[in-house]
Structure 1
Amino acid sequence: MSGSHPHNFPKLHNAAWPGVVGKGGEGGDPPIGLDTMLDLTAAAEVDGIRFDGFDLFLFQPHIDIDASDDEIRVLADKAATRGLAIGSVVAPVWGATGGGSAMDEGEGRRNFLSQVRKGCRIAQRLRELGIRPHGVVRFDSACGPNEWFADPAGNQAKIAETFRQAAAIARDHGEKLAAEGEICWGGMHSWRSMLDLLERVGEPETVGFQADMAHTLLYTLGENAPEDRILPPGYDWKDRAVLDEALKTLTSALRPWTMDFHVAQNDATVFGSGSHDHTGRHCLANDPNGKLDIPHHAGFWLRDDDGYLTKRLRHICWDGCMFPNSVMMKPETWNDVLAAMIRVRDAHGWAE
């Protein structure tokens, strides 16, 4: 806190997973190690303010989902020596990482729940070590919209049952689960489907929503669900009032379920293949093509319908997935991100 920045909540986190997600493979940038990601995060500073912590993908080369207690303790020490807390963690529930589809009632579900259990174990241990004061375990349905559309009602019911079983696991570990709102996940590909799924699960104290400003913007466009589009076809992005109204509709529905929040920017373009698996691009905080007014539109998630702070989220995180390594290795990238996060907290934060 300072005289010009009087708030110290919500805490400001950077994400470590952009060093892993989209990295590797033929012709791709190599992964950026966890130590490097943490050093870049800890070094960022704007007006004397630094990041308070980071959120973590429970995946190699950052950390093994089967990490031993000693390895978890080393991770906690990495954070502590840099003055960083650990917040939300991402469980690798997908088939390619040892998990399985939440729509699969057999081996896929068993593998999915096994990864959730392992993720909750690490999250619980970090909490017990005192390095993780807040945060959730993030997951998704680990299946694509194309598969889901083969039997929408039946598949939605299967995902809901898997999520209910995951909720029991989370409770056993004293944890909460947040379903990632991204249009590439079956049953979660539109805001109405996401809301329907959360209501079917019926565990609002344990299973909630993880809102990412970049991804949820695409909900308003109905990219994978035209019937759930909120913005009118041919929308002119210069008409900010129309965008605000669309985001009010979206956030009014999903905010009550929101347990985790990513500050991000989006240029409203998508990439992917097929008709139902497009997803959104994260942009740099100062990208001139970004369609969001970051501090203004963050308030739609951080304040209720009457404009009052909810204070439900103890930390917020920047998500910068898919930036090239040449961008991520520049200190000014993380200073720009931190500056955007500070603006959000100045506008929608509080002091404790």
Structure 2
Amino acid sequence: MPKNNFPKLHNASWPGVVGKGPDSEPAIDIDTMIELTANAEVDGVKFDGFDLFAADPHLDIDSNDDNIKRMADKARAKNLEIGSLVAPIWGGVGGGSAMGSSEERQQFVTQVRKACEIGQKLRELGIRPYGVVRIDSSVDPKSWAADPTGNTKLIAQTFREACDVAADYGESLAAEGEICWGGMQGWKTMINTLEAVNRPNIGFQADMAHTLLYLLGYNKPDERILPKDFDWKDREALTKGLKEMTAALRPWTIDFHVAQNDGTVFGSGSHEKTGRHCLADDPNGKLDIAVDAGHWLRDEYGNLTKKIKHICWDGCMFPNDVMMKPKTWNDILGAMIQVREMHGWHEEE
């Protein structure tokens, strides 16, 4: 059996929802996502849990105590824990732009409060021993670019208010570095936004598929690290670029998504184009998943930080037929196990 039991290995539930809908493929319900996660197994090792989308059709953000307990019971019945939550902070699902009108920004903070309340109740039910609440700016880069200074100030103010609310529930907020979000679309821009928030319970959620696009400066060309004509076969240059970026973002990182990317962007349904999530064994994948995860999980001297208690695989916008194949999740679990064996540790439980 593997020697390491930390970080815990989670699957994300939201690939069943994100990029789905009337203008794409049907959403995959939470029971099916839990079943797919629970059934995956590699050499006797299984997923330890899943991260949860706190919105319909998975878990209504306005869920009462009975609904939250039912979700906890579903996880427990499959011997799974729940980790990080995604707060539905976007317009159209009850939220609003973090740099929008006063009303929109208040709606944003309200959605964070509701997600934090759910998170606290799941902790009290003993099913959520770790994890954060994930947010973004809920605005596109072009709108942000109309006034970078003023809009960053507004986003920071909204995030600050959300952090203060989250602190009341013992929660931290992780801003995910997707290139499709204004004020977060470049690695330096992301750090500027986080620094402007100036709260102890704000951090960064690194996703290996999304942050690879930071290196290309896709929506922030002036922050590009790799040259325009970059040869992906130049592993030494790629590693150097990853080290530069992770050295800056790692101190902020409080949540981590393992993923693969082929160096392109992709969007489906209503989701804007962002770093494409690829299958773990995609032959076009540009990352060495296990090796490159170490840039996030180890410090600049190669020492384990042990800050991240669980890691999560994010396969957003995978086609439904791919998601329904057991092999997909076994391959993903196998990649996650490799990450833990290379960069994990053992704790008595």
Q: Which category describes the TM-score, using the shorter chain as reference length?
A: over 0.9
Report deviation, 1:272: 5.7
In 1, the alpha carbon distance for the partners of 2:285 and 2:179 equals 19
1:81 alignment partner in structure 2 = 77
SS at match of 1:233: coil
In 1, the alpha carbon distance for the partners of 2:220 and 2:36 equals 38
Q: Matched residue pairs, number?
A: 344
**Which of residues 12, 17, 20 in structure 2 aligns to 1:20?**
17
1:218 alignment partner in structure 2 = 213
1:111 alignment partner in structure 2 = 107
Establish whether residue 6 from structure 1 lines up as the match of residue 3 from structure 2.
yes
- Whether the aligned pair in 1 keeps the contact of 2:267 and 2:317 (CA below 8 Å) is no
2:126 alignment partner in structure 1 = 130
SS at match of 1:253: helix
AA aligned opposite 2:18: V
Report deviation, 1:232: 1.5
In 2, the alpha carbon distance for the partners of 1:271 and 1:131 equals 34
- Whether the aligned pair in 2 keeps the contact of 1:33 and 1:62 (CA below 8 Å) is yes
In 1, the alpha carbon distance for the partners of 2:92 and 2:244 equals 35
1:297 alignment partner in structure 2 = 292
**Which 5+ residue runs of structure 2 have no aligned equivalent?**
none
Give the TM-score of the pair, scaled to structure 1: 0.96
In 2, the alpha carbon distance for the partners of 1:299 and 1:115 equals 33
The percentage of aligned residue pairs carrying the same residue is: 65
SS at match of 2:20: coil
Report deviation, 1:22: 1.2
In 2, the alpha carbon distance for the partners of 1:37 and 1:333 equals 12
The residue correspondences of 1:1-352 to structure 2 (distance < 5 A) are 2=1, 5-26=2-23, 28-203=24-199, 205-271=200-266, 278-352=273-347
AA aligned opposite 1:268: G
Report deviation, 1:221: 0.3
SS at match of 1:323: coil
Report deviation, 1:279: 1.5
SS at match of 2:329: helix
In 2, the alpha carbon distance for the partners of 1:258 and 1:161 equals 20
Deviates more, 1:289-298 or 1:278-287: 278-287
Deviations along 1:1-46, one digit per CA (max 9) or x if unpaired, are x1xx2000000000001111111214x3211111111011001000
SS at match of 1:220: helix
Give the TM-score of the pair, scaled to structure 2: 0.97
AA aligned opposite 1:293: D
Deviations along 1:114-137, one digit per CA (max 9) or x if unpaired, are 100001000111011100000000
AA aligned opposite 2:96: G
SS at match of 1:95: coil
Report deviation, 1:271: 3.7
Deviations along 1:133-189, one digit per CA (max 9) or x if unpaired, are 000000000001011011000000000011111110010001000001100000000
- Whether the aligned pair in 1 keeps the contact of 2:185 and 2:220 (CA below 8 Å) is yes
- Please report the RMSD computed on the Cα atoms of aligned residues, expressed in angstroms: 1.0
AA aligned opposite 1:15: A
- Whether the aligned pair in 1 keeps the contact of 2:19 and 2:267 (CA below 8 Å) is no
**Which 5+ residue runs of structure 1 have no aligned equivalent?**
none
Runs of 4+ that moved beyond 3 A = none
Deviations along 1:178-202, one digit per CA (max 9) or x if unpaired, are 0011000000000000000111111
In 1, the alpha carbon distance for the partners of 2:43 and 2:234 equals 33
AA aligned opposite 1:303: R
- Whether the aligned pair in 2 keeps the contact of 1:224 and 1:278 (CA below 8 Å) is no
In 2, the alpha carbon distance for the partners of 1:308 and 1:206 equals 24
